[in-house]
Amino acid sequence: MTPPTRRRLLQAAGLAGLGAAGLSACGSNASISDDPHELVLWYWNRSASPELLEEAATSIPGSDSHVRADVIGTTFDTKLRTSLAGGAYIPDITYINSNNALYFRNEDQFLDMAELGADEVKDDYYPWKWDLGTTPEGRFCFFPLDIGPTGFFYRQDVFEEAGLPTSPDEVSAAATTWEDWIALGTELLGATKARLVNTGRHVYDQFLNASPERYLDEDDAPLYLEDGSAVREAWTTAVAAIEAGITAGIPDARGPDQNAAWSNGSTAGHINAAWWAQILQESAPDTAGLWRLAEQPVRPGNSGGSFAAIPRTCKDPEAAMAFIRWINTPENQARAYEDVQLFPSCPASFDSLSYSGDFFGDQDPLAFFSKAAESVPSSFISTWESLVSGSFALELDNVESSGKDPDAAWDDAVAAAKKVLTKRGVLS
Amino acid sequence: MSATTPIAPSAAGARRTDAAVPRSHEKGWRALRAHWPQYLAISPFYVLFLVFGLFPILFSIVLSFTNWDGMGKIEFAGLAQYAYLIQDSRFWNAVGNTFIIWLLSTVPMLALALGIAFLLHQNIRLRGIYRVAFFLPNVTSMVAMAIVFGSVFSDSFGLVNSALTAIGADSIPWLSSSWGIKVTIAVMVIWRFTGYNAIIYLAGLQSIPTDLYDAAKMDGASTWQIFTRVTVPMLRPVILFTVITSTVGGLSLFTEPQVLLGNEGGVGEAGMTIVLYQYNQAFTQFDFGYGSAIAWALFVMASIFAIINWRLLSERDRTPRAARRSKGARS
């Protein structure tokens, strides 16, 4: 046998290359896995309990399929949208973050889970969370995973030093309206130089998150133009807080500064969701026992919390639905809370959960937030909200950081919002 | 033996085509057929470039004339994206920011790099260690860098402000004021690329003949005089090269503001650069038509700079007499 010539080798390599190209061309179908009993789930770190996913990897209870869970890293939405747009390598089940309204424009990409029997378990979940998963067309495409009921976190030691009310009940009673809450902050500032929150934007965001009305209605009509609209009220409240000097003016981009302010008590409070307790515990461990939770003025809101959806190309929608229902039973949501602190969207989950810890002294944050979750109002988040919310936040930052005139800032925010809505064809 | 066999037929093939004198595209096809394994062997790069380089570039031209959210229908929009771009104050704010940061970073960076290269060129101890040390920032992870810079320039608890207050000066809101943000980003760029440019200058310095220095020393020139009268003029082409690369880098500035301030460009969008705005519009607002239009606007700006640079270079390369002659011919 003669040794192979260079030409032979090149030809062989070429054929191998062609073969590989041909093979990959054949693999271009909508599904990721060729196994008809393997459903691929896309999720991100800490959005599902690894323990439960491991069980589903063997089999989904009540079906002969199993789940292969793929962790998708950063830019989750871009990756999901790319596969949906390309019509290839689409997961059979996908998690979607609290920005699920972004997908309303393309809701036909997802199956209506009401047709798959999701309604049978509707009563197990907080109704406002269920509503957030319903599209403007009335299709139920986004199944509740976790939620983020909000409350007012405050440093009891700093409040005590300032001679303010200290127990959660007293603080809640002292600040049932935003005016009272700002007055409380002014008193705190006068007594200790400590600020109540880090930015006016936090006040603005959580005011809106607790409001039944937001930027646009279901017919894409802007609501913020009217006097007394929720956006305008939130803006006025935030500006009042800024002008009273009770905000520290440390924007979110300066995370280390924010954490330092909460640690050393120069900022003595924050309004945020249940999941923030975990973040606080990790970023300011030295303040354990000093924090307490009081009710948010007026009513609690919801910040964050994700959903599960079934893309229309799913190879076995019944099995996918079975998986989503199984991993979100009250018992399993309770397990997910114990495993990765996902705050349950089933009221019944709390029956089997108990809190042991002293970060909030003798206060039980689980009891606090599960009670708050009951009063979160139902609201509608428009698919266009993410286009306009940025201009209001940006202008509010301008008021806070560079002393821009609030009225001019409001006008600029409204003009910017109008411009971008017109550009995208929402307004004509 | 095996090495000579493939050459013979191809040489014969070439002779045959010469004899037939076919039209040029036929000749190309024959050559392709004769040498297809070789072409196939170099094809991976071109295939990848076509798919991930050329196609997106061409597709973005198409996209810039459409409305597309990355998922739904692509709708033709004519010149609407460009018309919006012209009157979009956020875009022009980004253009302004980009140029200010570019000026704030490039001028001190190149001056520093030149000085460092000059010092590294001297006969000093541990030269290799210094060279590595100055180049190291260029290969450091940007994300880690942003965390360090975020802490160093932190308004209330940062090192810089602690130092300022220690010497009795007022602290500066580095990350929440318009100029503070720009200076911080410029410092990040300087920190990252000074060493890189210094290495390039060093290579240029080493190609300058030593007899020029010897002659200057013989004539009694001081170190400063040698630097300004010998080194800098001899380095001119290298300096122009670094100016061009810094311009390209400055116009496409993205990573530093993105990791330091996030996708929104910080307070008042003071750190919003052109590419960050493009990314923001395409990948957070899902307006791919507009993102593409911004990309092509950036291309036009970069082209203008390239032409200016090219003009400067070609002027320098001409001999004085040739330059005079061409001037005479033009008038």
**Are B123 and B68 within one domain?**
no
- The band of B329, judged by pLDDT with boundaries at 50, 70 and 90, is very low
Q: What is the CATH number of the domain that holds A254?
A: 3.40.190.10
- Which pLDDT score, from 0 to 100, does residue B144 have? 86
Please name the residue that has the structure tokens 């393309």.
A106
- A215/chain B closest Cα distance in angstroms: 16
Pairwise CB contact (< 8 Å): B176 & A401: yes
CA pair distance A78, A75, nearest whole angstrom: 5
Pairwise CB contact (< 8 Å): A253 & B262: yes
Report, as an integer, the average pLDDT of B166-183.
88
- Which pLDDT score, from 0 to 100, does residue B318 have? 54
Q: Which domain holds residue A176?
A: 150-301+364-423
How do residues B23-45 score in pLDDT, each as one tens digit?
667 777 888 888 889 999 999 99
Nearest to A254 among B90, B155, B264 (CB): B155
The secondary structure of A273-291 as a DSSP string is ETTHHHHHHHH-GGGTTTE
Reported ipTM: the value is 0.84
**Are A166 and A194 within one domain?**
yes
Report, as an integer, the average pLDDT of A387-396.
94
**Are B181 and B67 within one domain?**
no
pLDDT of B196 > 50? The answer is: yes
The amino acid occupying position A268 is A
**Are B221 and B274 within one domain?**
yes
Q: Return the bridge partners of A68, or none.
A: A40
Q: In this structure, is the dihedral angle defined by the CA atoms of residues A187, A189, A190 and A192, taken in order, positive or negative?
A: positive
The DSSP symbol for A254 reads -
**A408 within domain boundaries:** yes
**B165 within domain boundaries:** yes
What residues in B contact A390, CB-CB < 8 Å? Answer: 264
Report, as an integer, the average pLDDT of A364-368.
95
**Are B259 and B182 within one domain?**
yes
**Are B271 and B134 within one domain?**
yes
**Are A219 and A325 within one domain?**
no
**B33 within domain boundaries:** yes
Closest to B285 measured CA to CA, from A81, A119, A261: A81
How do residues A41-74 score in pLDDT, each as one tens digit?
999 999 999 999 999 999 998 889 999 999 998 8
Please name the residue that has the structure tokens 């200290």.
A166
Pairwise CB contact (< 8 Å): A256 & B262: no
Query: What phi, psi does A96 have (nearest 5°)?
Result: -135, 140
When scoring A110, A312, A398, A423 by the number of chain B Cβ atoms within 10 A, the one with the most, hence best to mutate, is: A423
Work out how many domains chain B is built from and give that number.
Answer: 2
CA max distance for chain B: 88
**Are A178 and A276 within one domain?**
yes
Q: Which of B83, B105, B134 is the last residue of a domain?
A: B83
How do residues A242-289 score in pLDDT, each as one tens digit?
999 999 998 887 788 899 899 999 999 999 999 999 999 999 999 999
Report, as an integer, the average pLDDT of A308-314.
96
- B319/chain A closest Cα distance in angstroms: 50
> Which residue of A lies nearest to B5 if distances are taken between CA atoms?
A5
**Are B122 and B65 within one domain?**
no
How do residues A160-178 score in pLDDT, each as one tens digit?
999 999 999 999 999 999 9
Beta carbon pairs, A and B, within 8 Å? 107
**B1 within domain boundaries:** no
Cβ atoms within 10 Å of A351's Cβ, excluding its own: 12
Q: Which domain holds residue B35?
A: 7-83
Average pLDDT, chain B: 85
- Which pLDDT score, from 0 to 100, does residue A12 have? 57
Closest to A125 measured CA to CA, from A363, A378, A306, A328: A328
Q: Which two tokens stand for residue A206?
A: 């959580």
How do residues A318-335 score in pLDDT, each as one tens digit?
999 999 999 999 999 999
Lowest mean pLDDT, pick from A312-316, B155-159, B187-191 = B155-159
Pairwise CB contact (< 8 Å): A423 & B290: yes
The amino acid occupying position B93 is N
Query: What phi, psi does A71 have (nearest 5°)?
Result: -80, 120
- B268/chain A closest Cα distance in angstroms: 6
**Are B191 and B224 within one domain?**
yes
- Which pLDDT score, from 0 to 100, does residue A227 have? 87
- The band of B170, judged by pLDDT with boundaries at 50, 70 and 90, is confident
Is residue A374 packed enough to be buried (19+ CB in 10 Å), middle (13-18) or exposed (0-12)? exposed
Report, as an integer, the average pLDDT of B55-64.
96
Pairwise CB contact (< 8 Å): A398 & B70: no
CA pair distance A408, A404, nearest whole angstrom: 7
- Which pLDDT score, from 0 to 100, does residue B4 have? 40
Residue B311, CA atoms < 13 Å, CB-side half-sphere: 6
**A2 within domain boundaries:** no
Query: What phi, psi does A60 have (nearest 5°)?
Result: -85, 125
Chain B interface residues facing chain A, Cβ-Cβ under 8 Å?
A: 2-3, 5-6, 36-38, 40-41, 43-44, 67, 69-72, 84, 90, 150-151, 154-157, 173, 175-178, 260-262, 264, 266-269, 283-287, 290
**Are B196 and B56 within one domain?**
no
Lowest mean pLDDT, pick from A111-120, A221-230, B134-143 = B134-143
Closest to A84 measured CA to CA, from A74, A96, A73: A96
> Under a CB-based contact definition with an 8 Å cutoff, are residues A136 and A104 in contact?
yes
CA pair distance B143, B259, nearest whole angstrom: 6
The secondary structure of A244-281 as a DSSP string is TT-B----TT-HHHHHHHHHHTSB-EEEEETTHHHHHH
**B76 within domain boundaries:** yes
How do residues A15-37 score in pLDDT, each as one tens digit?
555 544 444 444 457 889 989 99
The amino acid occupying position B297 is A
**Are A387 and A405 within one domain?**
yes
**B160 within domain boundaries:** yes
How do residues B271-287 score in pLDDT, each as one tens digit?
999 999 999 999 999 99
**B227 within domain boundaries:** yes
pLDDT of B82 > 90? The answer is: yes
- The band of B17, judged by pLDDT with boundaries at 50, 70 and 90, is very low
**A181 within domain boundaries:** yes
Q: What is the CATH number of the domain that holds B140?
A: 1.10.3720.10
**A65 within domain boundaries:** yes
**B2 within domain boundaries:** no
**Are A43 and A72 within one domain?**
yes
Pairwise CB contact (< 8 Å): B267 & A17: no
- The band of A123, judged by pLDDT with boundaries at 50, 70 and 90, is very high
Q: Which two tokens stand for residue A47?
A: 């959005």
pLDDT of B12 > 70? The answer is: no
- How many residues does the structure list for chain B? 331
> Under a CB-based contact definition with an 8 Å cutoff, are residues B227 and B118 in contact?
yes
CA pair distance A85, A96, nearest whole angstrom: 16
Q: Which of B29, B49, B83 is the last residue of a domain?
A: B83
**Are B277 and B217 within one domain?**
yes
CA pair distance B89, B95, nearest whole angstrom: 10
> Under a CB-based contact definition with an 8 Å cutoff, are residues A68 and A57 in contact?
yes
How do residues B197-227 score in pLDDT, each as one tens digit?
999 999 999 999 989 989 999 999 898 898 8
- Which pLDDT score, from 0 to 100, does residue A5 have? 59
Pairwise CB contact (< 8 Å): A250 & B155: yes
Pairwise CB contact (< 8 Å): B156 & A260: yes
Chain A interface residues facing chain B, Cβ-Cβ under 8 Å?
A: 3-7, 10-11, 13-14, 17, 75, 78, 81-82, 84-85, 102, 105-106, 109, 249-257, 260-261, 266, 386-387, 390, 394, 397-398, 401-402, 416, 423-425
Nearest to A401 among B3, B44, B267 (CB): B267
Pairwise CB contact (< 8 Å): B69 & A401: no
- A78/chain B closest Cα distance in angstroms: 7
Report, as an integer, the average pLDDT of B304-326.
65
The secondary structure of B40-86 as a DSSP string is HHHHHHHHHHIIIIIHHHHHHHHHTTEE--SSS--EE-TTHHHHHHH
Going by DSSP bridges, is the β-strand pair A93-96/A307-309 parallel, antiparallel, or unpaired?
A: antiparallel
- Which pLDDT score, from 0 to 100, does residue B19 have? 45
Number of H helices, E strands in chain B: 18, 2
Q: Which two tokens stand for residue B273?
A: 């650069």
CA pair distance B267, B182, nearest whole angstrom: 11
- B278/chain A closest Cα distance in angstroms: 15
**Are B63 and B192 within one domain?**
no
